[in-house]
Amino acid sequence: MDVAVIGLGQMGAGMAKSLLRAGHHVTVYNRTAARAKVLEGFGAVVGSNLADACKAGVVLTMVADDPALESVVASPGGILESLPKGGVHISSSTISVALSDRLAAEHARQGQIYISAPVFGRPEAAENARLAVVAAGPSAALERCRAIFESLGPKLLILGEKASQANVVKLAGNFLISCVIESLSESFALARKAGVDASVLLEFLTTTLFNAPVYKTYGGLIVKGDHDNAGFPAMLGFKDNRLVLQAAEGAAVPMPMASTIRDRLLTAIARGNAAKDWSVLGRIAAEDAGLTTG
Amino acid sequence: MDVAVIGLGQMGAGMAKSLLRAGHHVTVYNRTAARAKVLEGFGAVVGSNLADACKAGVVLTMVADDPALESVVASPGGILESLPKGGVHISSSTISVALSDRLAAEHARQGQIYISAPVFGRPEAAENARLAVVAAGPSAALERCRAIFESLGPKLLILGEKASQANVVKLAGNFLISCVIESLSESFALARKAGVDASVLLEFLTTTLFNAPVYKTYGGLIVKGDHDNAGFPAMLGFKDNRLVLQAAEGAAVPMPMASTIRDRLLTAIARGNAAKDWSVLGRIAAEDAGLTTG
Amino acid sequence: MDVAVIGLGQMGAGMAKSLLRAGHHVTVYNRTAARAKVLEGFGAVVGSNLADACKAGVVLTMVADDPALESVVASPGGILESLPKGGVHISSSTISVALSDRLAAEHARQGQIYISAPVFGRPEAAENARLAVVAAGPSAALERCRAIFESLGPKLLILGEKASQANVVKLAGNFLISCVIESLSESFALARKAGVDASVLLEFLTTTLFNAPVYKTYGGLIVKGDHDNAGFPAMLGFKDNRLVLQAAEGAAVPMPMASTIRDRLLTAIARGNAAKDWSVLGRIAAEDAGLTTG
Amino acid sequence: MDVAVIGLGQMGAGMAKSLLRAGHHVTVYNRTAARAKVLEGFGAVVGSNLADACKAGVVLTMVADDPALESVVASPGGILESLPKGGVHISSSTISVALSDRLAAEHARQGQIYISAPVFGRPEAAENARLAVVAAGPSAALERCRAIFESLGPKLLILGEKASQANVVKLAGNFLISCVIESLSESFALARKAGVDASVLLEFLTTTLFNAPVYKTYGGLIVKGDHDNAGFPAMLGFKDNRLVLQAAEGAAVPMPMASTIRDRLLTAIARGNAAKDWSVLGRIAAEDAGLTTG
């Protein structure tokens, strides 16, 4: 089907490739044009501007944060103005629950449909159709877009009519990952000071009770103390933490572990690790325990 | 080989059965004699007292806590007095790092050997030789007892000479489980208040990033709000939390997540849930979010 | 001197009265006109709209929060549009550091001067010239307005050129108060469960080490369990907590105690106490300890 | 009246001097005899051993911690053995609630009376009869000892029959002080990063809402970053924090702020500050905010 992909960072570009490979007719648009150009070689049509891209009738956005999404949606010539009546905006960015609610209302006022469809997975998963997709919004539109979701990965969770519920699930998932990182960080600091080899501990944990990729991946990064190759920078982790705390505030839900993560990430950032991978929490736990770190 | 099992609660009795099934010659002893009697039918010899059991030369203890272990070890006629020189005490209980260090020293003074070998797994795993064992102590004795460890389950981690390192690993493992419970509890409270069906969220999480039994087991208990069948009571969870905080104190390692777990478990206990399964943290998170609970 | 007071809640109205009593020529304006009318009897001139009030050349605003202040400043006919070049906007509301920085820049672009001058004290203090004032901004303007500040209370702290530093001080002060409330709440819960009469404990504490009004006032409210007469509602306390956490985020300062206060206030709100005085944290601490509360 | 003082550290020696000055007949005893000798010049009689000191009939102990007190009470020739029937043991050390309860029972079994009477104040206050005393125990014995308490300082709080309630009050008081230190530490870190002069902020705070000696003393130490002159070392602060957390555990009272203090003090200790004054929490807060410290 016809679909435009707006926002061609690592994730957006990967998703566009997966859509193209699945046979969709994909228009791409990015503020920095060079990133769009690259995708021509994979069969994409490059839209000349947002309005041009919106002609596809279905627009998937994958941008950095709330302000970036507000800009492509609400600026002159943006999606709100340009998408035809009955058109669908699929928002896959990790954004706030509040913005998602607002966009749902604004699109409805324009006779357009807003779907929230954040994804779980890293850039490689995006490019190889291995993402997990969580989608929510009006059910007819969800059905209409099902082929798009299924082209992005094998795992699809369809929630109800309220689009922002998909954002809640995305934020909860990222919160759970952050708890894995911090709990491993504290465990390894304890093990190291007790003289236990952290890599031996990790191997044991991940072949018994914690046999899940998230423990292996982040445990490995913490044990190695290798945080320079930022798959997900601490600064973005902090952004997501802020979003989950905002969602918790909106719903009046105390989340003490999220608060702890906040303080730890803020310490990491204050000590100069904003651009490091968020597994750098392992270094913070080590430093707070008086351990020397690489 | 000859081995005595002391402490025949659900875990100890199950371990004795697995040892018997593997062909070992097992003497059993329990303060309450009835529990020992039951194991005669499985081929065990019932020791008449601690001293009698110690004749086996290798004694495995599986008791409730520090005071219980101190009692079987140091009371008149206890293991310290009764175990022959060169005999081995395998301590599988979840006890403090400090007690483990103390027992290692006291046994050494008696010409005996102390091994710490705590286990991961529930009673069914104990009975069916499915435990994971973490062992530390003098290496010759560890080799001597390898057949025992391997009769308890398929997974064995051998650490170094310092016995208490095995206790650190056990405490770290239980701490990580407690973090899983609390992080899921907070996530589900958020999801529920946002209108997301917690069972749908759980199914999604455990078929994607968090595809590990510990998330499925505890997630299921929290979603159902079923905490009466206490696989592991909140009070014991609190005991383990105290042990990890004590270990952290001994090693000078701040563990803010363990502190959060402490406060949550204490709230659970103060509200009358001491005997409930420690997944009752899910109820506390829900109540703190103003949700009604069953 | 000529000054307009905009925002006539309990605090703003009280400040207007103190200014009138000190002999200033005061114009008042409030969205709801009735509140302005009342002050005519005290000698105030009622401005017909914001633009009219701005003719005073010096405008003091005392409104509820960031959005309210943005509205009176930036809406058509608002202060930015109406204040003459060289005019001064004294902002006394408890607002975010970020908004304060933004307003300083926007006023400067209009050739106007922005001063931040938040105050400490309750409505009675406002009305009786007993406030403590913290002021920051361009020094010439601070001198020009000194007579105004001194009419509001006996205590004046003048900071440097950066207006938002005054907001930081205000937020830090409120954070310290919240810590007093929470630490007393936890102490009284402990005392009560240990059988110690909380009122006896409070009397002892406040006549020895903690001989300060803030301990007496809040300690008294917590001991009595009287939170219905909301001098400062939990919801506003939460707003201020959010502002301090935002300031801490902006400056990259982890504040674990502020995070704890956040979670406690959120619990209070989730359990239906949003409109109660923020000393209701005492009730939350008691409930979490399993104590019955009135 | 006749009274023996056991434990002649800075606090105990000071208390002995105040008792002597008030005209009491004071016997002193200390494990290290030199410290007792010094007090002869002030009129004290030096006891040759614990049993000798116990002849006074009323014994006041002021020692470092639980193990030290257990040793002078329960070791052969100790207070339990040596104090005559009807004799009184006044325990002024900062000890655990659990030990206090245990000593009350043990003394009762010997026909002796146990009073808990911890004190607030620093060594200078002890020496100059400026302490605040909190006493609990059997009321007749409290009356009998009133002259002693009143010789130690102007402020006396008499609680009920249960001696350990006095320990709860002492621990709650120290907890409140620790919250003052940590909340000031976080506030000053925020202020400094926002460019506000911390000494100016402190001066303002302590002349308005926080006009209490505890804010002035600790605020001053934090602002100066002067933690070498350890009035109260971080290690002792950590001991007291442990005692309050244990009391909270015994009473099932979650105390999240006490947990936060625990983690911060543990960080301070892990980073090599165990012997510094516990105002060193100010340095920890600064370091976590990325500030350089002296």
pLDDT at A230: 78
For B:139-158, CB contacts with A below 8 A are 155, 157
Residue B128 φ/ψ, nearest 5 degrees: -110, 25
pLDDT single digits (tens) B10-60: 999 999 999 999 999 999 999 988 999 999 999 999 999 999 999 999 999
User: Which residue in the set D252, D260, D266 is minimally distant from B252, CB to CB?
Assistant: D266
Residues in A closer than 8 angstroms to C242, CB to CB, are: 249
Mean pLDDT of chain A: 96
**List of chain D residues with pLDDT < 70:** 294
Profile chain A (294 residues) by mean pLDDT over runs of 10 residues.
Answer: 96 97 97 93 96 97 96 96 98 97 98 98 94 98 98 96 97 98 98 96 95 95 92 94 98 98 98 96 97 76
User: To which H or E segment does residue D59 belong?
Assistant: strand D58-61
AA letter at B246: Q
Q: Which of B113, B103, B115, B187 is nearest to B149 (CA)?
A: B115
The answer to whether residues A240 and A171 touch, using CB atoms and an 8 Å cutoff, is yes
D105 part of contact set with chain B, CB < 8 Å: no
Side-chain half-sphere of B267: how many Cα atoms within 13 Å?
26
Percent of chain B with pLDDT over 70: 100
For A:226-265, CB contacts with C below 8 A are 242, 248-249, 252-256, 259-260, 262-264
User: Which residue in the set D242, D259, D270 is minimally distant from B259, CB to CB?
Assistant: D259
Nearest chain B residue to D270 by CA distance is B252
Report, as residue numbers or ranges, the catalytic residues of A: 170
How far apart are the CA of B247 and the nearest CA of chain A, in angstroms?
A: 8
The C-alpha atoms of residue A274 and residue A166 are separated, in whole angstroms, by: 27
pLDDT at D294: 55
pLDDT single digits (tens) D110-130: 999 999 999 999 889 999 999
Domains along the sequence of chain D with CATH: 2-162 (3.40.50.720), 168-288 (1.10.1040.10)
What long-range pairs does C106-110 form, CB within 8 A, spacing at least 24?
C106/C73, C106/C74, C106/C80, C107/C80, C107/C83, C110/C80, C110/C83, C110/C85
Nearest chain D residue to C264 by CA distance is D256
The answer to whether residues C258 and C244 touch, using CB atoms and an 8 Å cutoff, is yes
Chains that touch A (3 or more CB pairs under 8 A): B, C, D
pLDDT at D190: 98
DSSP string covering D172-210: HHHHHHHHHHHHHHHHHHHHHHTT--HHHHHHHHHTTTT
The C-alpha atoms of residue D112 and residue B219 are separated, in whole angstroms, by: 55
Residue D282 φ/ψ, nearest 5 degrees: -60, -35
pLDDT single digits (tens) B167-186: 999 999 999 999 999 999 99
Residue A27, beta-bridge partner list: A4, A45
**Residues C201, D172: C-beta atoms closer than 8 Å:** yes
What long-range pairs does A119-122 form, CB within 8 A, spacing at least 24?
A119/A11, A119/A15, A119/A92, A119/A152, A119/A153, A119/A170, A120/A170, A120/A173, A120/B208, A120/B209, A121/A153, A122/A231, A122/A232
**In this predicted complex, what is the ipTM?**
0.96
Residues in A closer than 8 angstroms to D272, CB to CB, are: 290
AA letter at D259: S
The answer to whether residues A182 and B241 touch, using CB atoms and an 8 Å cutoff, is no
DSSP string covering C153-181: -SEEEE--S-THHHHHHHHHHHHHHHHHH
Specify whether D276 is catalytic. no
The C-alpha atoms of residue A8 and residue A16 are separated, in whole angstroms, by: 8
**Residues A249, C242: C-beta atoms closer than 8 Å:** yes
Among D190, D280, D288, pick the best mutation site for testing chain A contact (most A Cβ within 10 A): D288
Mean pLDDT of chain C: 96
C189 part of contact set with chain D, CB < 8 Å: yes
Task: Give B110: exposed, middle or buried? Use CB within 10 Å, 0-12, 13-18, 19+.
Answer: middle
Residues in A closer than 8 angstroms to B207, CB to CB, are: 155
Dihedral, CA of residue B70, residue B71, residue B76 and residue B79, to nearest 10: -60
Of the residues D17, D55, D170, D224, which is catalytic?
A: D170
Q: Average pLDDT in the C53-58 region?
A: 97
The answer to whether residues C155 and C129 touch, using CB atoms and an 8 Å cutoff, is no
pLDDT at C294: 56
How far apart are the CA of D192 and the nearest CA of chain B, in angstroms?
A: 25
The C-alpha atoms of residue D42 and residue D28 are separated, in whole angstroms, by: 11
